[in-house]
Amino acid sequence: MPVLSDVITTLDSLWPRAWAEQWDAVGLVCGDPGAEVSRVLFAVDPVQEVADEAVAMGAQLLVTHHPLYLRGTTTVAADSFKGRVVHTLIKHGVALHVAHTNADRADPGVSDALADALGLRVTGPLVPAPDDPTGRRGLGRLTEPAAPLTFGALAELAAARLPRTAQGVRAAGDPNRRVRTVAVCGGSGDSLFAEVRAAGVDAFLTADLRHHPASEAREHSPLALLDAAHWATEWPWCQLAAAQLDAASERQGWGLRTEVSRLVTDPWTAQLPSSLPSSPSGAPN
Ligand SMILES: [Zn+2]
């Protein structure tokens, strides 16, 4: 049976910490490097429900995409929700490891998993990593559907293939528009509009699109937009990451058992269609 430091070495080779943004906080958050590991849980968010799930399944390692602490802290007292997560994990011998922007930049990474969930073929990164001579790593991905489809069909595909959330998938664009190329970015992608427009793609699938960047992108080009729940765009990476660790475990003869959390940790829990009648132009009467 491997010890935690063996497994972390493997995870660091999949998503080297040096690939993370300067502001990010990746790597081991808590855990004893010498402790044995037999079960590993993958999840997007290190929230209390997920920590409880890791304890209930008897995991010794929880791997999440989002950091628990992004900035420095002076306390892990259990009277804060993050401190309570730390206490839960340590009390039950569960380590926490974070792979965030380093997993975004990896090949394969978070956006590859999102593209794969929709059956989109990746042709390259949207924003190539400057330190990668192969040109394969970077933020976001440029993709192509197996055959051109309408934007309406692409929106339906995203709704059908991504895990269910209260938000679902929002779409902006002509449903009859032919889509031959799609930029995808798991997580918040509205800082990438300049690169998306420069790439000349027909559609952009991401999360957390704000009013002004989305509105401006629509005014400047016929670019069609798909906005899914942040959690839903990153969850497919958990399956990819678990499969990558499974493969490493098989190579090493570790016999690890990996699982992916199916708890929906997107913060939004309901969506109601507004009912105040609008004028035909869309402005409220
Ligand atoms: Zn995220």
Confidence class for position 275, pLDDT limits 50, 70, 90? confident
- Three-state DSSP at 247 gives helix
pLDDT band at 36 (very low <50, low <70, confident <90, very high): very high
Tell me the CA–centroid distance for residue 273 and ligand 1, in Å. Answer: 26
Is 282's pLDDT higher than 70? no
Burial 87-114 (b: 16+ CB within 10 A, else e): bbbeeebbbbbbbbbbbbbbbbbbbbbb
Residue 193, pLDDT score: 94
Question: Mean per-residue pLDDT for 31-49?
Answer: 98
**Ligand 1 centroid distance, CA of 55 (Å):** 23
Distance 234 CA to ligand 1 centre (A): 6
pLDDT computed for residue 72 by the predictor = 86
- Under DSSP, the state recorded for 136 is -
Predicted confidence band at 277 (pLDDT cuts at 50, 70, 90)?
A: confident
Q: Which two tokens stand for residue 172?
A: 């902006």
CA-wise closest residue to 92 among 60, 66, 70, 123: 60
Does the structure show a pLDDT above 90 at 279? no
Tokens of 134: 């192969």
The alpha carbon of 277 and the centre of ligand 1 are apart by a number of angstroms equal to 35
Kindly give the distance from the C-alpha atom of residue 100 to the centroid of ligand 1, in angstroms, as a whole number.
8
Neighbouring C-beta atoms of residue 8, cutoff 10 Å: 20
**Which helix or strand (DSSP H or E) is residue 126 part of?**
strand 121-128
Q: Which residues surround ligand 1, an ion (CB under 5 A)?
A: 187, 234
Specify the pLDDT at position 98.
Answer: 98
Task: Judge whether residue 284 has pLDDT over 80.
Answer: no
Instruction: For the full predicted model, state whether its pTM sits above 0.85.
Output: yes
pLDDT tens by residue, 66-115: 999 998 899 999 999 999 999 999 999 999 999 999 999 999 999 999 99
The pLDDT of residue 280 is 60
pLDDT at position 285 is: 47
Q: Ligand 1 centroid vs 161 CA: distance in angstroms?
A: 18
Rg (CA), the chain: 20
Q: How far is the CA of 47 from the centre of ligand 1 (A)?
A: 13
Separation of alpha carbons 240 and 238, rounded Å = 5
Q: What is the pLDDT of residue 194?
A: 93
Taking the centre of ligand 1 as the mean of its atom positions, its distance from the CA of residue 189, in whole angstroms, is 10
Question: Between these two residues, 283 and 133, which has the higher pLDDT value?
Answer: 133
Tokens for 101? 């922007």
CA of 284 to the centre of ligand 1 (A): 34
Q: What is the pLDDT of residue 283?
A: 55
Mean pLDDT for 244-254 is: 98
- Give the distance (Å) from ligand 1 centre to CA of residue 230: 6
Measured in Å, residue 67 CA sits from the centre of ligand 1 at: 9
Q: Is 112 helix (H, G, I), strand (E, B) or coil?
A: helix
pLDDT digits (tens, 9 = 90+) for 137-196: 999 999 999 999 999 999 999 999 999 999 999 999 999 999 999 999 999 999 999 999
Residues 194-241: pLDDT tens digits? 999 999 999 999 999 999 999 998 888 889 999 999 999 999 999 999
